[in-house]
Amino acid sequence: MEMFTTTSAAHRRQSDCVVVGVYENGIAGQAAAEIDAASKGHLSKLIKQGDISGMPGTSLMLTSVPGVRAQRVLVVGLGKMSKLGVSQFRGAIRAAANLLKNGKIKDVVSYLGLENVGDTGAYYLARYTAETIGDALYKFTETKSGGHSRATPLKKIGVAAGSRSDANKALRGAEHGQAIVEGMSLAKDLGNLPPNICTPAYLARTAQKIGRQHKNVTTRILGEAEIKRLGMHSFLSVTAGTTLPAKLILMQYKGAGRDKPIVLVGKGITFDAGGISLKPGPGMDEMKFDMCGAASVIATMSVIAKLKLPVNLNVVVPACENLPSGTATRPGDIIKSMSGKTIEVLNTDAEGRLVLCDALTYSKRFKPEVIIDVATLTGACVIALGHHRTAVMSPNDKLAGEITSAGIAADDRGWHMPIADEYERQLKSNFADFANVGGRDGGAVTAACFLSKFADGMNWAHLDIAGTAWRSGGAKGSTGRPVPMLSEFVLQRARAIP
């Protein structure tokens, strides 16, 4: 995919296809009106005939429109003019992309960014365009026989802007959007790969590959002996029942000299069977997605390195499987975490917090400006927020606000949930400093409370992506979230948004 911007009028633009919009009551959008004038009323006629309704989700492909240089004009419905917001805008782009991806079209220019989409500027409209098209074109074929065939020929994507200055902003948006959507594709690939391929070692190799691609990125992989030497017995307790070795994946990007880094920690459970507290069979395959936090932070690293942002960024991924066996950790076992605090493992299926707590303790050595962990941590989070919003939790309301705002700007939304002392009693243990579970009630919050005990002294937030990282059912697959939210957070901190 290659992005570019143009200020030429829709009817003058040479291209395989230009995309223009029409509103619900038959009012032509900016570029549609231009094409209508150039073609002496070709579109008005089709609107009058009822072939173009302007309803959301509709589209009509026209060829050889008189007075128009492009070979085709794709007219998409924009719905009600007063209702055109980011999600309607992206819906129209998605409709266009879904139609174009199976055709023979190689290059396309979208003129939809000329419309008034709330108060969204040229930068974000171009970025959403790149992200929406890249997201729609994504296809996972790696594990189908017949392989990588039938890739879409659609390679060049243009975004039209109304002025030179908007075109400059749009170009930045398109570049950022392209980097973000490539990051999302990487995160999706890692999520979608089966657990017999996407193992802890595979995640480590992927991180190393990114390290080789960017000269500002260094990657280090620690094996079990080193993990043990660090005293990460909580992390190791999760991998006790497995054959595949655990890895601690460390990535470092230096773009801002000696500034304190942003640290991203990702849960990397490449398969979560629950351990001795075994999960029920139905749907257990979806626990291959339990490394989506890791995928999202590794992918965000690739986005930031590609954009060469002036920030320092560290990524920490504890990666292992959670399986039952004769050597697995038992419910009732008490382990000593790297911090020295002891944990009574009452449920071996609450393993995410056990790997993350040691990763948080380890991360203290980076003296982070801010540290965010990302994890498919609790089923309770899915009950609380469903599949639309990522849970954002932090003892620091300002940081939680900054992250939820980034989610709004990136159109990858979160919702602020509490971390508070009242919940802590639920983690009380008679035998250790605390238990690893706090009962069913408020499960997403008590999990965050558990982590907070290891994040003391750091400016920390926790993202629970259990509901947003993948889809189930017919469209089963990884979503690439929250790569846009995390990338936006770093872009804002780097002051890289025009």
Nearer to ligand BES, 274 or 368 (CB): 274
Min dist CB 195 to Zn ion, Å, is 12
- Give which of ligand BES, Mn ion, Zn ion, none residue 488 binds (C-beta under 5 to 8 Å, depending on kind): none
The encoded tokens of residue 269 equal 């459970």
* Residue 115 interacting with Zn ion (CB under 5 A): no
Q: Pick one of 115, 131, 189, 290: the residue that binds Zn ion (CB under 5 A).
A: 290
User: What are phi and psi for residue 424, nearest 5 degrees?
Assistant: -65, -30
User: In whole angstroms, how far apart are CA 186 and each of 55, 248, 294, 296, 299?
Assistant: 34, 19, 11, 8, 6
Min dist CB 238 to Mn ion, Å, is 9
Tell me which residue has tokens 């920690």.
Answer: 265
Query: Which residues 6+ apart lie within 8 Å of 216 measured at CB?
Result: 253, 254, 255, 305, 308
Applying CB under 5 A, the span of 178-186, 268-276, 302-310, 381-389 interacting with Mn ion comes to 268-276
Min dist CB 390 to ligand BES, Å, is 12
Pattern 259-288, Zn ion, x by CB under 5 A: ----------x--x----------------
Nearest CA to 485 out of 366, 392, 360 is that of: 392
Report how far residue 156's alpha carbon sits from residue 174's, in angstroms, rounded to the nearest whole number. 12
Report how far residue 32's alpha carbon sits from residue 22's, in angstroms, rounded to the nearest whole number. 7
Pair 247, 319: CB distance under 8 Å:
yes
* Residue 293 interacting with Zn ion (CB under 5 A): no
Nearer to ligand BES, 234 or 376 (CB): 376
Min dist CB 350 to ligand BES, Å, is 4
Q: Are strands 17-22 and 72-77 parallel, antiparallel or unpaired?
A: parallel
Residues annotated as catalytic are 279, 353
Count of residues of this chain found to bind Mn ion when the rule CB under 5 A is applied: 3
Count of residues of this chain found to bind Zn ion when the rule CB under 5 A is applied: 4
Pair 283, 230: CB distance under 8 Å:
no
* Residue 467 interacting with Zn ion (CB under 5 A): no
Tell me which residues touch ligand BES (CB under 6 A): 272, 290, 347, 349-352, 376-380, 382, 437, 443, 466
Pair 153, 200: CB distance under 8 Å:
no
Q: Which residue is nearest to Mn ion (CB)?
A: 349
* Chain residues 327-356 in contact with Mn ion, contact rule CB under 5 A: 349, 351
Q: Which residue is nearest to ligand BES (CB)?
A: 379
Query: Which residues would be at the binding site for Zn ion (CB under 5 A)?
Result: 269, 272, 290, 352
